[in-house]
Amino acid sequence: MKKLLIVAFAFLLFAPRLSLKAQEMNCMVSISTPGLSETDRLIMQTLQADLYEFVNQRNWTQFQFNTQERIEASIMITINERAGDEYKGNIQIQSRRPVYHTSYSTPLFNHQDRDVHFRYIENQPLEFADNVFTNNLTSLIAFYVYVILGFDFDSFAPYGGNPYFERAQNIVNLAQNAQERGWKSFEGQRNRYWLMENIFNTTYRPIREAIYTYHRLGFDRMTENMEMARAEVINALEMLQRAHRERPGSFLMQIVMTAKSDELVNLFTEANPMDRNKAIQILTEIDPANSSKYRRMTQGTEARTR
């Protein structure tokens, strides 16, 4: 009976997002080829169209979303080098989700991966399977689709993204023998391997708990009670602070703050002085790279009161 109640609760929680009408992703895909030839650009236009279909027409979960509930995202690939059928560059991935009862969408994920290296021949099929590493391009794209899904589902339920983060982790595991960079622990501290390590590391559990508190208990309730919603966002910031003090400088924290820093400035610039000062104190501690941005929140308020 307890299991049935849990299943029923989960269904009700996600019911507004589920339907039998459309796939999960509404993702813009673009490929830029600065400095490459016109022939290369035409080849990449073909790949762009194929990747768009690969991302948006594939079923990535056991659910199918309502058309208006598909996850808004963008994948922007920049190709800087070509040698034969090999291409190198970087990829920028962004995703966002709507805030309940508003027209506003809040950013969830915003990351640039500089280790893009793949082989491609025009019109070749884009093959991918969850249980085998077929090629670096489709594995790379599928990895980030699952990461997008993981962050999105985490924002609706505590650890709701686990099934999709586990699939992303599986891609990392399958790619350990790949020649291309970005999948292995020794290749750097800010790559796909370490993103998955941070997501499943118990030290950083407060970061994932904060994602739920921030969005579901905070932003989704802004229209009901702004002050209470801001208080929940501060609660989420305190969770981030606990994780930071346990182990400063994590990759996952950087990912979260890259997506959220501008939004937090906008939210707390208009807050009451106590909440604003509390937010500034926490943000300058957990995100020192943007400390000057956070301190300007007070300066902007003072300027408006003079």
Band (pLDDT 50/70/90 cuts) for residue 7 is: very low
CA triple 10-93-120, angle to 5 deg? 115
Query: Distance (Å, rounded) from C-alpha 81 to C-alpha 84?
Result: 10
The tens digit of pLDDT for each residue in 186-234 reads 999 999 999 999 999 999 999 999 999 999 999 999 999 999 999 999 9
Domain ranges of the chain: 13-200, 210-305
* Mean pLDDT, all residues of the chain: 91
Q: What is the mean pLDDT of residues 135-152?
A: 98
Mean pLDDT of 38-63: 95
Q: Residue 67 — pLDDT band, cuts 50, 70, 90?
A: confident
Q: What per-residue confidence (pLDDT) applies to 22?
A: 64
Rg (CA), the chain: 21
Please state, in angstroms and as integers, the Cα–Cα distance from residue 16 to each residue in 66, 161, 216, following that order. Answer: 8, 17, 14
Give start and end residues of each alpha helix (H) in the chain. Answer: 2-14, 38-56, 136-154, 162-174, 192-200, 205-212, 226-246, 251-269, 273-286, 291-305
Quote the pLDDT of residue 276: 96
Find the mean pLDDT for residues 101-129.
96
Percent of the chain at pLDDT above 90? Answer: 87
- For residue 168, pLDDT over 80 is answered with yes
Residue type, 276: R
Q: Would you state the structure tokens that stand for residue 291, as one six-digit string?
A: 């400390």
Band (68; pLDDT cuts 50, 70, 90): confident
Q: What is the pLDDT of residue 300?
A: 55
C-alpha–C-alpha distance, residues 295 and 292, integer Å: 5
Pairing of strands 86-98, 71-83: antiparallel
**What pLDDT was estimated at residue 301?**
52
Mean pLDDT, range 266-282, rounded to an integer: 95
Mean pLDDT of 37-59: 95
